[in-house]
Structure 1
Amino acid sequence: MILVLRALGVGDLATAVPALRALRAAYPDQELALAAPAWLTPLADLIGGVDRLLATDGLGELARTGAPPQLAVNLHGRGPQSHRMLADLRPRRLLAFANPEAGHLDGPAWFAEEHEVDRWCRLLAWYGIPADRTDLALRRPAPGQMPVGVTIVHPGSKAPEKRWPAGRFAALARELAGRGHRVVVTGSAVERDLAARVAAAAGLPPKVVLAGRTDLGELAALVAHARLVVSGDTGIGHLATGYATPSVLIFG
């Protein structure tokens, strides 16, 4: 078994897609298990090549998987805690960035300012596994119950410092609607109030607020068939990249 640790969020998993695909290609006959939060299962399915998701919330003890994995790959961070989590499973081999504090002297050096996609591709390349950094496309799901051709305004973010002011999102949503865009406002369940405020300030009806009403698979379908995505630097922007959906990401 190949065990990959990436116990973070949507955007984090999306930036690891080229590395996951490279591991799948390098070990076609091995089971590939991804240690990640259970709620990311729909995204893991859309990546393809992941045989099993081991529910893992952040850094802690990994569930035992029977026999030690043939290969453990740290796509989570630089260590030491993430290195130790994997080392505790006694894999035959650990692919990770060098971290003397974790007792792992193998692997390349960590560059703090490196783009996440490039970081994980470089890690695998150091171990002789080629990865294509442009291989970011996700499997396109059917729209199901999600509307098609809408413009998605996504004002929320887990990191408050990444949030553009709600009033500006509202002004933008109002302008887009005035130009003929069918605007919907998305977000998590805890962002529903924020989404409702943005929609109300933009003069949009409550029915356009989809925050808290979609699971991750439905959100992916919404993005895959959208006209445009406008968001901060957060996970939905990475979904837009995976589907080549036109997007505007607001940084800072």
Structure 2
Amino acid sequence: MSAIGDAILTLPVACCLRDHFPDAYIGWVIEKKSAPMVRGHQDIDSVIELERGWFTSPKAIRQARATLREHRFDISIDCQGNTKSALAGKLAGAKQRIGFAGKHAMELSRFFNNEKVTPVFHHVTDRSLELLTPLGIHHPNVRWNLPLDSEERRWAMSYRHSIRSSRVAILNPGGTWPSKLWEADRFASTARYLADRYGYHSVVVWGSFEERLMAEEIVELSNETATLAPDTSLTSLAALIETGDLFISGDTGPLHMAVALGTRTIGLYGATRPGDSGPYNQVALQLQYESGSRRHRRNADNRAMRAIGVEHVCAVIDEMHTDSIARAA
């Protein structure tokens, strides 16, 4: 409901429901920050946007209940598996409330959901799709259909054509946790390698002020092989990513945008596991893992990420391009 990446990773659930129940009314409950990732999706009839912290006061809970009840939902599917996501299904009045059993039923979710599924798979996308088994869906197709505005697509293509290079790599140095960050000088070295070896020009994207400072450092160290991306919204960022030939990032929302849009992706992992939230059917690199509780991993330094060297990323880049040459032959 709140994480951009998790919202994207769960989009195949809506797509699959539409495939199997073409006449169903499908709603998505989400917090406002992540709403652009599902708003306007072709398989979703209604996006119900709640304020952050909506579940922390009696008044806000009553307001959420009134909003959700208007939709008269029969079934809720709790893909997040925590208190607020399960509570949303309960407040909506859904009689069949499907959620996780076992370790993925976090906090109070097990008390709000009344039909439990023990997942076999680890990845968030596959695990979420398993929640559809009580509805008779056992072999789902995975598709995303990330909603993009045609005007933003036109802007992104115009920006792409302004770069005089046949290949564009998009580098995303940002991340929500310090422990997910790779070093600026390593991104810059990767940009130089991409330019020297394969003729890429790199575009460095950013969101927050801190991310912009890191992006500017990468550009400065890149020997003119990288450019700072313009300020973008979430959806215009997605449109820009769609125009790229390669996307390199830590585990964060834009990484999963790239996967959903079909851009070749290299994910860099240290504080999270690729088996759980890796770039779906794309490449993930992890040499060390920052073990411990979620709180510890969120607040740890980026030691595990620093175990990934530029040479490791460049080796993957070489493998990708060797494979492309082999397929072309």
TM-score normalised over the length of structure 2: 0.65
More RCO (CA 8 Å, sep 6+): 1
Deviation at 1:231, TM superposition (A): 0.9
* 1:184 corresponds to: 203
* 1:94 corresponds to: 97
Q: 2:74 aligns with which of 54, 70, 77?
A: 70
Deviation at 1:215, TM superposition (A): 0.8
Is 2:176 aligned against 1:145? no
Q: Is the 8 A contact 1:199 1:205 kept in 2?
A: yes
Offset from partner CA, 1:189-227 (integer Å, 9 cap, x none):
332112112211223499x2126x111111111111111
Listed as ranges, the gaps of 5+ residues in structure 2 are: 56-60, 161-166, 271-329
Q: Is the 8 A contact 2:191 2:225 kept in 1?
A: no
Deviation at 1:103, TM superposition (A): 5.0
* 1:203 corresponds to: 223
* 1:117 corresponds to: 125
Deviation at 1:245, TM superposition (A): 1.4
Q: Which runs of 4+ in 1 moved over 6 A?
A: none
Q: Is the 8 A contact 1:153 1:184 kept in 2?
A: yes
Q: 2:18 aligns with which of 24, 34, 43?
A: 24
182 and 231 in structure 1: CA distance in 2 versus 1, 3 angstrom threshold: same
Q: Is the 8 A contact 2:3 2:253 kept in 1?
A: yes
Q: 1:129 aligns with which of 124, 131, 137?
A: 137
Deviation at 1:18, TM superposition (A): 1.7
The structure whose Rg is larger is 2
* 2:235 corresponds to: 217
Residue 16 of structure 1 aligns to a residue in which SS?
helix
Deviation at 1:45, TM superposition (A): 4.4
**In proportion to residue count, which structure has more helix?**
2
Identical-residue share of aligned pairs (%): 25
Q: How does 1:9-48 map to 2 (within 5 A)?
A: 9-45=3-39, 47-48=41-42
Paired letter, 1:85: A
Q: Name the CA distance, whole Å, in 2 between partners of 1:84 and 1:39.
A: 19
Q: Is the 8 A contact 1:8 1:58 kept in 2?
A: no
Offset from partner CA, 1:28-80 (integer Å, 9 cap, x none):
33332211133434422464211222113367243523254222221222x34
Q: Name the CA distance, whole Å, in 2 between partners of 1:88 and 1:249.
A: 37
CA RMSD of the aligned region, Å? 2.7
Q: Name the CA distance, whole Å, in 1 between partners of 2:174 and 2:85.
A: 28
Paired letter, 1:35: V
91 and 74 in structure 1: CA distance in 2 versus 1, 3 angstrom threshold: same
Number of residue pairs matched by the alignment: 242
